[in-house]
Amino acid sequence: MMKRIMAVFALIAVFAVIGSASAGTLDDVKAKGFVQVGVNGDLFGFGKPDEKGVWKGLDVDTGRAIAAAVFGDADKIKFTPLTAVTRFTALQSGEIDVLCRNATRTLSRETALGLNFAQVNYYDGQGFLVPKKLGVKSAKELDGAAVCVLPGTTTELNVADYFRSTGMKMKPVVIENTAELANAFFAGRCDALTSDASQLAGTRAVAPNPDDYIILPEIISKEPLAPAVRHGDDQWFDIVNFSVLAMIEAEEMGITSKNVDEMLKNTDPKVQRFLGVSPGNGQALGLDEKFAYHIVKLVGNYGEVFERNVGKDTSLKIERGLNALWTDGGLMYSPPFK
């Protein structure tokens, strides 16, 4: 009898944990009526207000996709600009619901910091931006250089490792704010600026004269950038994860913001399940069955988001590369929506 009672208590404890993990952020988000998203604030192409104060960027659109999934309205969202130092504390403390701020997924961040990273929304790598007048063609020519770098980032450790491994020396110029760091570089306080290659492209795009600067060919690290949520809320993690994956899946299926209404009539079972014509996916996430439809209609598929924010026709001029679909030689790949 005692063993049976103990077994019952054990089951109750398990269900209590499951319940506390599954009911949390989504309920809070619905109660306040918007998703609070932590973003960069100073990174052109990823997270920065335009001259009219409208937030734009690949990370911004990732946040809008989450809002579209939850509310069927991509504008039910508020943005919190965060530095590299404050971003994880803001998420841990509950100040924000999700972090969409060009953050690299690492082992220590997923464990020691108590975070969960969702699907990567940009595969990146660290590089170096230098003035053309410096006459440098390779990172291996930077021995003794003053290097601008953000603190509290994987960038700071990577660049120290790179210089140590190549037997070179550097003089770090550490500034916390992204915009101030860029201004210091443009003002000549350092010989090189190191960061993710995408961030370097965004920095160069807003330079007084972008053609005066080049990104060196060496990529010295892997930087899988992804949205992050707190540990312990599986439902919210699933929602954030599949919001990103929905954009990737839509591109692979040829569903765009322009043809998504017509695709509702498509008889392909995979398309019907994806767009919520056939029920199941929405219920599994605790969302409206047409959550993926809302994402594509209001934000676009991954290709649309990439091209309008950082693609070859923007001032950043970034090629898809690793961020192409797996069918085109890239790493973007979604599990089935079923």
In the chain, the percentage of residues whose pLDDT exceeds 70 is 93
Sign, CA dihedral 271-243-78-49, equals negative
| DSSP annotation of 192 | E
Given a cut of 90, whether residue 217 has pLDDT beyond it is: yes
The distance from CA 31 to its chain's CA centroid, rounded to whole angstroms, is 25
Given a cut of 60, whether residue 53 has pLDDT beyond it is: yes
Structure tokens at 180: 């101030």
Stretch 164-171: mean pLDDT: 97
Task: Collect all residues with Cβ–Cβ distance below 8 Å to 277 and sequence separation of at least 6.
Answer: 264, 271
What is the structure's pLDDT at 152?
Answer: 83
- How far apart, in whole angstroms, are the C-alpha atoms of residue 196 and residue 201? 9
Structure tokens at 209: 């004269």
Given a cut of 90, whether residue 325 has pLDDT beyond it is: yes
pLDDT higher at 17 or 27 = 27
The distance from CA 286 to its chain's CA centroid, rounded to whole angstroms, is 23
Given a cut of 50, whether residue 14 has pLDDT beyond it is: no
> 61: burial class by Cβ within 10 Å (0-12, 13-18, 19+)?
buried
> Within 10 Å of residue 82's Cβ, how many Cβ atoms?
23
> Within 10 Å of residue 302's Cβ, how many Cβ atoms?
29
Which tens digits make up the pLDDT trace of 107-159?
Answer: 999 999 999 999 999 999 999 999 999 999 999 999 999 999 999 889 999 99
User: Phi and psi dihedrals of 119, rounded to 5?
Assistant: -55, 135
Which tens digits make up the pLDDT trace of 230-242?
Answer: 999 999 999 999 9
Given a cut of 80, whether residue 2 has pLDDT beyond it is: no
Dump strand ranges (E) for 285-335.
none
- How far apart, in whole angstroms, are the C-alpha atoms of residue 185 and residue 189? 6
What is this structure's pTM? 0.89
- How far apart, in whole angstroms, are the C-alpha atoms of residue 243 and residue 12? 32
> Within 10 Å of residue 81's Cβ, how many Cβ atoms?
17
The answer to which of 13-27, 134-148, 278-292 has the lowest mean pLDDT is: 13-27
Predicted confidence band of residue 21 (pLDDT cuts 50, 70, 90): very low
